[in-house]
Amino acid sequence: MQRALELAATPGVPLGPNPRVGCVLLAADGTTLAEGFHLGAGTPHAEAAALATAREAGVDVRGATAVVTLEPCNHTGRTGPCALALVEAGVSRVVFATGDRNPVAVGGAETLRAAGIEVESGLLESESRELNRVWAFAVEHQRPFVTWKFATSLDGRSAAMDGTSKWITSAAARQDTHRLRALADTVLVGTGTVLADDPQLTVRDADEVALPDQPLRAVMGLRELPARARIFDGSAGTTHLRMHDPREALAQLFARDRQHVFLEGGPTLAAAFFKAGLVDEVVAYVAPVLLGTGRNAVADLGIETIADARHLRVTDVAVLEAVGQDTCVRITMSTASTHPEGN
């Protein structure tokens, strides 16, 4: 199963919209017969890829064990059902890490058992879920996973009194931001950010991250945007979500097969998403800088007493240091415990 997870995470495999899946076919004595992994939407699934490799090599897989990181699918889309392919191939046992959360594809385990195939699940389940955490979240919640990223001074300011904010954090932190952008399929800001800063919102300086396509640039708000704005430079797709409702914005993005939103807007947009319970992860870059006054990193959240403070769970802390430059700390936090029921 560890090898199947390694295959699923092969560099260059798209992070979505399909899950990353790996498969290893084993003989009765435990030797590997064939391997396969999913290369992205429209390509053979991991099980089909492994079976095809075995056929091309003239390897008989009857009686084999299929070890897969995700429950074999049970539906016909652009490719056929993997559960049926395994039945027809004559495997005798299937071990998968985690069940398929997609209601369209679920049911593979039942199909396999009905055909007399031994089925086991749960092996390295947490590792498999972590590999596809964004995909699993989007499928289960029917909306994109939202990562809110912001940079702040030690005293919680995102800009000085005169509005200047370039650059609070170090070059290393800015490069790290591009790395995280590359892990999302959408970068979202408000119209205010576009009008004030004219950002390009593309991934740059992230060579270590496989990037088949630039993330979609999404701008939320009712104000018109100038045609000369850099978000319309053609270097990536751009959409203008003419609304103020974060939930509707996510619904529109989900309808476009978007599963991971990297929220980079200003304090007002961040507060709107946070108050709606639609922020799932927070990435804060904290620089060794004091401003004393200026723009807060987030606008009013409606909290009047410490008892109502929004508590986050720290999941990672990293010190980012550019050679000869400032040191910056990246803190990654989960908001899972702060979500209202149903989010």
166 and 88 in a single domain? The answer is no
Ramachandran region of residue 170, left (φ > 0), alpha (ψ -120 to 50) or beta? beta
Q: Of the given ranges (182-186, 201-205, 208-212), which has the lowest mean pLDDT? A: 208-212
**Band (211; pLDDT cuts 50, 70, 90):** low
Return the amino acid letter for 330. Answer: R
Give the model's pLDDT for residue 343: 40
Query: Is residue 321 annotated as a catalytic residue, yes or no?
Result: no
Longest Cα separation, the chain: 72
Give the model's pLDDT for residue 165: 64
A 10 A CB-CB count for 259 gives: 23
* Mean pLDDT, residues 207-227 taken together: 82
Q: Which of 289, 286, 282 is closest to 311 using CA atoms?
A: 282
The CA angle 190-233-191, to the nearest 5 degrees, is 10
229 φ/ψ angles, rounded to the nearest 5 degrees: -60, 145
A 10 A CB-CB count for 233 gives: 13
* Mean pLDDT, residues 133-140 taken together: 93
Give the model's pLDDT for residue 326: 65
Q: Which of 312, 279, 245 is closest to 145 using CA atoms?
A: 279
* Mean pLDDT, residues 174-191 taken together: 92
Give the model's pLDDT for residue 1: 98
The H or E element containing residue 122 is none
300 φ/ψ angles, rounded to the nearest 5 degrees: -55, 125
Of the two residues 104 and 95, the one the predictor is more confident about is 95
Give the model's pLDDT for residue 185: 95
Ramachandran region of residue 314, left (φ > 0), alpha (ψ -120 to 50) or beta? beta
**pLDDT, tens digit (0-9, with 9 covering 90-100), for 6-35:** 999 998 888 888 999 999 999 999 999 999
Give the model's pLDDT for residue 293: 85
DSSP 3-state of 89: helix
Q: For the domain that residue 106 is a member of, what is the CATH number?
A: 3.40.140.10
**Band (204; pLDDT cuts 50, 70, 90):** confident
Q: For the domain that residue 150 is a member of, what is the CATH number?
A: 3.40.430.10
Domain count, the chain: 2
**Band (212; pLDDT cuts 50, 70, 90):** low
Residue 268 half-sphere exposure, CB side, CA atoms within 13 Å?
9
Kindly write down the DSSP assignment for every residue of 198-214, as one continuous string: -------S-TTS--SSP
Q: Does residue 88 have a pLDDT over 50?
A: yes
**pLDDT, tens digit (0-9, with 9 covering 90-100), for 280-339:** 999 999 888 888 888 888 999 989 899 988 899 999 999 887 654 567 889 999 997 544
Decide if 320 is inside a domain: yes
As a whole number, the mean pLDDT across the chain is 89
Give the model's pLDDT for residue 320: 84
Of the two residues 160 and 242, the one the predictor is more confident about is 242
Give the model's pLDDT for residue 218: 97
For residues 94 and 92, give the distance between their C-alpha atoms in angstroms, rounded to a whole number.
7
Q: Does residue 166 have a pLDDT over 80?
A: no
Alpha-helical (H) ranges within the chain are 2-8, 46-56, 82-89, 108-114, 125-131, 133-141, 171-181, 191-197, 246-255, 267-275
Q: Does residue 41 have a pLDDT over 60?
A: yes
Decide if 64 is inside a domain: yes
25 φ/ψ angles, rounded to the nearest 5 degrees: -100, 125
**pLDDT, tens digit (0-9, with 9 covering 90-100), for 168-180:** 667 778 888 899 9
Q: Which of 31, 40, 35 is closest to 53 using CA atoms?
A: 35
Q: Does residue 340 have a pLDDT over 90?
A: no
Give the model's pLDDT for residue 253: 98
**pLDDT, tens digit (0-9, with 9 covering 90-100), for 243-264:** 999 999 999 999 999 999 999 9
79 and 208 in a single domain? The answer is no
Q: Judge contact between 101 and 74, C-beta under 8 A.
A: no
> Looking at 103, 137, 171, which one is the last position of a domain?
137
105 and 174 in a single domain? The answer is no
Both tokens assigned to 310: 């929004």
> Looking at 79, 106, 137, which one is the last position of a domain?
137
230 and 163 in a single domain? The answer is yes
112 and 44 in a single domain? The answer is yes
- Domain limits for position 241: 143-338
* Mean pLDDT, residues 264-281 taken together: 94
Exposed/middle/buried for residue 141 (C-beta within 10 Å: 0-12, 13-18, 19+): middle
Instruction: Name every residue whose Cβ is closer than 8 Å to that of residue 188 and which is 6 or more positions away in sequence.
Output: 218, 219, 220, 249, 253, 261, 262, 263, 264, 265, 269
Q: 82-89 and 46-56 are packed helices; what angle lies between their axes, rounded to 10 degrees?
A: 30
Give the model's pLDDT for residue 206: 57
Q: Judge contact between 47 and 36, C-beta under 8 A.
A: yes
Give the model's pLDDT for residue 51: 97
User: Choosing from 35, 47, 71, 281, which is the catalytic residue?
Assistant: 47
| Residue set of the binding site | 45, 73, 82, 151, 165, 167, 181, 193, 197, 201, 204, 264, 266-272
Of the two residues 68 and 79, the one the predictor is more confident about is 68
DSSP 3-state of 332: strand
Q: Which of 21, 39, 33 is closest to 99 using CA atoms?
A: 21
208 and 306 in a single domain? The answer is yes
Of the two residues 210 and 269, the one the predictor is more confident about is 269
Decide if 343 is inside a domain: no
